[in-house]
Amino acid sequence: MNKTLLLQAKNKRKTRNILNEKDFSLSMEDFILKIYTVCTPNLYGDSFPKKIQLDLFDVVKSVSSSLDRGDLHVNYKKFIECKISFLNANNSYSIANIRDWQLLDYFILCFVDHNFKSSFYCVDKKVITENPRVLLTGMNNSGTINSFNKYVGKRTSIRKDEVDYILKQNNLLNGTSYRNLISFLKTLNK
């Protein structure tokens, strides 16, 4: 076994998936860099809505997973699922664990390009779950097996050059910055 690689792996294990209170107080821009650096995709997916909640603790609250209504809510009137995706080698963004049976109002999507510039979108649920331009496929099992399953977690990929066509025209925000997202969420609380 290569001792240098083994040491690198052991050092990475010491810091992987470790976020602390200080990390959540970073700006969203720096928080995205932090989670990309230290987290596996499932943890940065969980951390993203927590960061939004902490930044807007008086506006949005977390939703118990037992309710099956997304990640966040505003006064139990609006329910929101949050997704973050980093541009991959195929020049696409992946959105995973789409549960189209959940009673949601919105998807908050954060897409991060190769230069770590983030763009935020908030779209009605149906823009993702009922859009012929968004191909949803089962995360697990074959299509045949899933045809017998009632609840199938799904995924999709959106090419970078399709983001504007699919999402920008349906974006409920006044722009694609985190500040635009914060402003929109505050309006939901009124």
Query: Is 146 part of any domain?
Result: no
Q: What are phi and psi of 42, to 5 degrees?
A: -65, -35
Check pLDDT > 60 for residue 116: yes
Check pLDDT > 70 for residue 42: yes
- Domain of residue 52: give its range: 3-91+102-125+160-188
Q: Is the dihedral of CA 184, 31, 117, 71 positive or negative?
A: negative
Query: Is 14 part of any domain?
Result: yes
Instruction: Quote the number of domains for the chain.
Output: 1
Query: Is 20 part of any domain?
Result: yes
Neighbour-count burial of 42, counting CB atoms closer than 10 A to its CB (0-12 exposed, 13-18 middle, 19+ buried): exposed
Check pLDDT > 60 for residue 146: no
Query: Is 165 part of any domain?
Result: yes
Check pLDDT > 60 for residue 145: no
The predicted pLDDT at position 160 comes to: 94
Query: Is 132 part of any domain?
Result: no
Q: What percent of the chain has pLDDT over 90?
A: 67
Query: Is 133 part of any domain?
Result: no
Query: Is 149 part of any domain?
Result: no
The predicted pLDDT at position 142 comes to: 58
Separation between Cα atoms, residue 108 and residue 49, nearest integer Å? 9
3-class SS of residue 55? helix
Q: Model's pTM, two decimal places?
A: 0.90
Separation between Cα atoms, residue 109 and residue 70, nearest integer Å? 13
Query: Is 153 part of any domain?
Result: no
Cβ contacts of residue 60 below 8 Å, gap of 6+? 52, 53, 72, 73, 74, 80, 185
